[in-house]
A and B are shown apart, each in its own frame.
Chain A
């Protein structure tokens, strides 16, 4: 199933802010005024350097943090602020997360089957033990693991298999949105492709949307329909993958794209990385706003800045 842009967005993030108060004088603005939406069946990629707030956004949406300000709507239900019982159930069943480090996120003392089935147990989503077992076996098969794996422990699996367990655990609740936080960056190159293909196949089958958080731009480009570029807690540029990669406007985006080493020695010799330094660039993120360029392409900046950048690019 391809992304359905005519439908209502499944997730709507409006002016999300996430501040961490470190002391009475100092507050870290990890996420500052970020808005975006995700449509059913879509993959939205969040990229940015470490400390740009991409993980914080993911964690804020699934309410591992309490967002400081802003409104988050999921499936038409407000999930920011204090959660009602229905909102909590909706959030905890229909939104799932896959974590970066599969070893750290799997309980070493639990069997794989029980780790995957934990969501079912909590929400009592089955009538009998047989149904539960059946359900877990189906999910195991779907992510390319065998029934026999049910009784094994996390340490008996390879990195790629563990990540599959993470995916299976997310899938068992049949979620509408999966937040994948750097879920392939710890895997070997040859295994990464397997996992990404698996995620794509699952999306085609179940139609769930992904929020794909990563710093590997070539992988983000490959998997995402739309991309958001973050820097210092701000959304600097967002648009379809094509819009971002063929017509990057913000200097930070351009610097980011120019820095990707390509596995092609001939083009590599002529590639020059464009440097970008916020402190010396003369850009003030506080002054700019997210401005519409074309289609779904938005760039953060003042009118003069954007006009200047566009002139420079041509």
Chain B
């Protein structure tokens, strides 16, 4: 498997050094994606999904630090790059859209101003050229009357419209990778459907790869090629969308899928929640981080982190339950 990856993160470890101690936000995270691929990262808050994506952009906030592993993006070694070098690729080769478009747009500049800024920073275009490009971009993201919108301020636009502007800014330099951090969580379902459709359309048109960070399993089901399920700073399961939804191997993935109501369910069946609460990363348990909440928890789970089990294709998981053969061979005697 010597394919060339656009993003190749290997064994990344990242910690936040807080006064209370070291918070291990990421421990041994490896993800990769090809050009034009849509990868979904799901997990609950604090599982490290945003931290992973942000670290790829060099956006690790103080007191966080990458303490191990390699992050390669489009022939750049991200972990060794300086802030100055990083700035050149941010917004150019990789861009990001955030959850709340109101707080990520500058309220005192017009929409046009903010799009032109990105274009002029990264390309040698003149003001007039950049303006023309900005207009093109607004058309591309389906905003009507782009000429008029360029002169408007963020507060004059609706939520869906603002998110479209954010997408326009993100796409200004035709990035190879778009990171979408919960891009539709703050939007209504109908608007969410429009934005997702737009993102898919643009992906086809521009051929960029997308990392979709979300906790909404419905969203990942509709647009992602592959899914990484994160829990407590680890990728507990990775596979194609079909594999994750129809053949989940990790107990957390199974629990997650069971705990959401299915819109096409016939009866009012009871939801099966994942009991307990998320793990405290300041004092993570020695074994599998999910073990305290896991209904199939075994002795070994509390002691040792399970190794990676590989299934068909790239489907991998880290769970002792999938080490059946080794158990039977007697490699793990209790």
Chain A residues in the interface with B (C-beta under 8 A) = 49-50, 158-161, 188-194, 196-197, 200, 215, 217-219, 221-222, 245, 255-256, 258-268, 271, 273, 275-276
Contacts and interface: CB of A to CB of B under 8 A. Distances in A.
Contacts of B246: 265
Given A215-B188, A259-B193, A273-B193, A192 B259 contact: yes
Interface in B31-47: 44-45
Contacts of A194: 273-275
Interface string B68-100: 000000000000000000000000000000000
Interface of B: 44-45, 159, 188-194, 196-197, 215-219, 221-222, 241-242, 245-246, 255-257, 259-265, 268, 270-275, 277-278
B196 A196 contact: no
B180 to A, nearest CB: 14
B113 to A, nearest CB: 27
B217 A268 contact: no
A189 B217 contact: yes
A256 B261 contact: no
B263 A218 contact: yes
Contact of A260 (B191, B218, B273): B218
Contact of B271 (A197, A261, A265): A197
Nearest to A189: B215
Given A188-B44, A189-B44, A261 B222 contact: yes
**6 shortest interchain CB distances as A-B pairs:** A261-B218, A193-B273, A222-B261, A273-B193, A193-B259, A188-B44
User: Interface residues of A: mostly helix, strand, loop or mixed?
Assistant: helix
Given A49-B190, A259-B190, A268-B222, 6 more contacts: A189-B216, A191-B277, A262-B222, A262-B262, A263-B221, A265-B241
A50 to B, nearest CB: 6
A267 B242 CA distance: 11
Contacts of B274: 190, 193-194
13 contacts: A158-B278, A191-B273, A196-B271, A255-B190, A258-B193, A259-B190, A259-B192, A261-B196, A261-B218, A261-B221, A262-B218, A263-B218, A265-B222
A227 to B, nearest CB: 13
Given A193-B272, A259-B193, A262-B264, A50 B259 contact: no
